[in-house]
Amino acid sequence: MLIAGLALVGLVGFAAADDKKDEEKKSDKLSVGDAAPALKASKWLQGSQVKKFEKDRVYVVEFWATWCGPCIAMMPHVAELQEQYKKQVTFIGFSSKDQSNNEEKVTAFVKKRGPKLKYTFAYADDRDTYSAYMTASGQGGIPCAFVVDKAGKVAWIGHPMYLDVVLPKVLEGKLDEDARKEIKGLDEEVDGLFRALNGKDPEEGLEKLAAFEKKHPKLKIPYFTGPKINLLLKAKKTDEAKKAAEAVVKSASKYDDSNALFIVSSVLRGQGKGDKDLMALSLKAAEAMLKAAGEKDMLALYNVAETHFAKGDKEKAKEYGKRAVEAADNAQNKEFLKGRLKAYEDDTKKEDKEDKKEKKKEEKKDD
């Protein structure tokens, strides 16, 4: 991950799949209404192995990878859905080997995050299951969810952010063609809302978000978190922004959701300079991220350093900046972090010079 290129206020909904088409095994086409292919996994990392899709139970098979930010951002909500529907639905996070996603990375991720997420995780050292689902159905981006109904057939294929409205209909046996078209139409609404949230008029963005939430009260889309807080601050609705940020910090801490904590901390320090309460909340989110991600996590250390720098604590910024450099995972990130560390040090020197000038001025006045 290149720190310099990180988006601070939100995440896109899909990430392109990291695979080569000529390496994929040929698969028959897979469409809604077809029997769901069997899951072939090398390891079941958490939860019970799903040897077959049992009758009268619904399954959600979601494809993800460790390099996919949008996938990881969805996980806490998937965990909430698993808790909500635990008697009726089994959620499976399925990850396959690719150039940037291997058994070691997936195992380490599930070992760290899995206990709080509490749903099933599987890893495949080949692309057979990925090919049988993703390639066969023409899907090119993850996260992507396949809902398997009580008869063992594929009932729906799409982004997991729509599961709030999909699952009740599948469980009730009411996901007909009209319902699928209605859910598909949500894509256009969401795309339009993202444009509004990233527009120049914060009031307009907030109005459109409120209208969307009123129209679709069941949908909980985590990708709106950063943009919403950002717009509230731009619109000078500070109390509402604080309340929203505090709620995210509380929820994200429950699931060790370092992505959400990073976004909240970044937005608050970017928009909240000069406001002690906002900066304190930014630091709280940054420290919670470090706790969730681990004391040697490069991005979390960088985030704490940047937050201290924004608060005016240059010494703390340098302390965490040095630790971030030590934790850098590649040469490009190391150079970027060294540049930020130099900025902290240069700013400290500049501040010292200004303090000396002021001191001399005061001394001359006294003389």
Residues in the chain with pLDDT values less than 70: 1-27, 351-367
Residue 53: what pLDDT?
A: 97
Q: What is the pLDDT of residues 220-230, one digit of tens each?
A: 999 999 999 99
SS3 state at 101: strand
Superfamily for 27-174?
A: Glutaredoxin (3.40.30.10)
254, 257, 260, 261 alpha-carbon torsion, rounded to 10°: 70
Distances (CA, A) of 46 to 68, 119, 200: 20, 7, 44
Q: Report pLDDT for 20.
A: 46
* 15-16/89-96 β-pairing: unpaired
pLDDT on residue 28: 79
Residue range 33-90, pLDDT digits in tens:
999 999 999 999 999 999 999 999 999 999 999 999 999 999 999 999 999 999 999 9
Residues 6+ apart with CB under 8 A from 279: 268, 269, 272, 273, 307, 310, 311
Residue 185 to residue 30: CA distance in whole angstroms: 22
Q: Which residue has 């200004």 as its token pair? A: 354
Total residues found in the chain within this entry: 367
Yes or no: say if 245 and 285 are a contact pair by the CB < 8 Å rule: yes
The pLDDT of residue 8: 38
The edge-to-edge listing of strands for the beta sheet with 58-63 is 43-46, 120-124, 89-96, 58-63, 144-148, 154-158
pLDDT at 150: 97
Are 163 and 119 contacting, i.e. CB atoms less than 8 angstroms apart?
no
pLDDT at 367: 56
Domain ranges of the chain: 27-174
pTM of the model: 0.87
Burial of 42 (0-12, 13-18, 19+ CB in 10 A): middle
